[in-house]
Amino acid sequence: MIGSIVLPPQSQHMDPLSEVLALMKPQLYVAGGFGVPGDMAVRFPKHKGVKCYAMLAGNCWLVVEGVPEPVLIHAGDCFLLPRGLPFHLATDLALKPVLYTDVCVRLGVRSEAPGATEGSRYIAGGHFALTGGHAEMILHSLPPIVHIRRESDKAAMRWSLERMREELRDPQPGGSLIAQQLAYMMLIQALRLHLADAASTGPGWLSALSDRHMSIAIASMHNDPGYPWTLHSLAERVGMSRSVFALRFRKVVGATPMEYLARWRMLLAADRLKHSSDGLSAIAQSLGYQSESAFGKAFRRVMGCSPGQYIRSATPSCISAEWGR
């Protein structure tokens, strides 16, 4: 089941995380849950987009390809899988994983699951396809597993989890749509909690959003991307000297302020080139470029191709600088 997630139009009133999610254009591929009766290990192949799950009852092991240690998921835990890596869920690590398509009939995987009962192992969540340009690049700034397990964090997600449990246990008219929206709320809440846990974030735009000073600088650039920002004006905005601000920004974000600004402008430009009727001149001027030529050079430098090539391409070809580094 594919459903579009309705987001408010981008504007200067949106916070940076909301703006980035809007550019990713998430569409919910499926939302629902499945029970795991008895002992088994279920293997899931590489996926596109991001998967967000919550353990509503019981516990199981999560094993993600390339991640050295398995993770024990307890009831109330939530986890995101943003990089699309193959994984399997197991009640016992000694069991040989079986491909999910071979066991889906036994599991009863579907968008509604009235059989959810207390005391059983039960997982619910959603799989989000991301149709915005360079969404995968943004997701790769996240770790392979985002695991929400602290009691205080689980308490913050409890309402969404309980509502999801009720919708799956006792389907009502409109329940499928409610489950979709609850899955999206779980995704955003998990990202919020990950942001708040400074110890779990490395250099990148996520780290910057959780940093008091750097988040002000990023919000300023997002709120007015066409303004002629300089290192001096951004440092002044956050109340730091230029040298201290420049060092701090690069350490937290992994790029200089001007590199970040250029990338953000080009992501906005790429979205408008694909999804609006605005001409190059209008886009260039709105993003602070005085000519189409200057805009074109900046676009090619950041995106790896010309605006015209980008418009004609079915998917973005390459990018010279990673968003999450």
Q: Which of 69-73, 120-124, 269-273 has the highest mean pLDDT?
A: 69-73
For residue 117, what pLDDT band results from cuts at 50, 70 and 90? very low
For residue 319, what pLDDT band results from cuts at 50, 70 and 90? very low
Range 28-50 average pLDDT? 78
User: How confident is the prediction for the chain on average, in pLDDT?
Assistant: 78
Q: Cα–Cα distance between 123 and 241 in angstroms, integer? A: 49
pLDDT at site 236: 95
Q: Model confidence over 192-230: pLDDT tens digits?
A: 777 776 555 566 666 677 788 888 999 899 889 999 999
Q: Which of 32-41, 93-102, 296-305 has the lowest mean pLDDT?
A: 32-41
Instruction: Identify which has the larger pLDDT, 266 or 190.
Output: 266
Range 53-67 average pLDDT? 89
What's the pTM value of the predicted model, to 2 decimals?
0.66
Q: What strand order describes the sheet that includes 60-64?
A: 71-73, 60-64, 87-90, 41-44, 98-99
Q: Cα–Cα distance between 313 and 231 in angstroms, integer? A: 34
Q: For residue 121, is pLDDT > 60?
A: yes
Range 304-319 average pLDDT? 72
Q: Which of 125-139, 142-156, 255-269, 281-295 has the lowest mean pLDDT?
A: 125-139
CB 215 within 8 A of CB 16: yes
For residue 103, what pLDDT band results from cuts at 50, 70 and 90? low
pLDDT at site 233: 96
* 152-155: long-range contacts, CB 8 A cutoff, minimum separation 24: 153/193, 153/196, 153/197, 154/76, 154/77, 154/78
Q: Which two tokens stand for residue 184?
A: 């999206």
Instruction: Identify which has the larger pLDDT, 66 or 52.
Output: 66
Instruction: Identify which has the larger pLDDT, 60 or 132.
Output: 60
Q: For residue 124, is pLDDT > 90?
A: no
Q: Model confidence over 128-164: pLDDT tens digits?
A: 777 655 566 567 667 888 888 777 777 777 777 777 7
Q: Cα–Cα distance between 209 and 21 in angstroms, integer? A: 13
190: closest CA among 259, 229, 238, 139?
139
Q: What strand order describes the sheet that includes 3-4?
A: 3-4, 26-35, 122-130, 50-57, 78-81, 146-148
pLDDT at site 161: 72
- In sequence order, what E strands does the chain have? 3-4, 26-35, 41-44, 50-57, 60-64, 71-73, 78-81, 87-90, 98-99, 122-130, 146-148
Q: Cα–Cα distance between 139 and 141 in angstroms, integer? A: 5
Q: For residue 317, is pLDDT > 60?
A: no
For residue 297, what pLDDT band results from cuts at 50, 70 and 90? very high
pLDDT at site 3: 46
Which residues have a Cβ under 8 Å from the Cβ of 84 and sit 6 or more positions away? 46, 47, 48, 49, 50, 136, 139
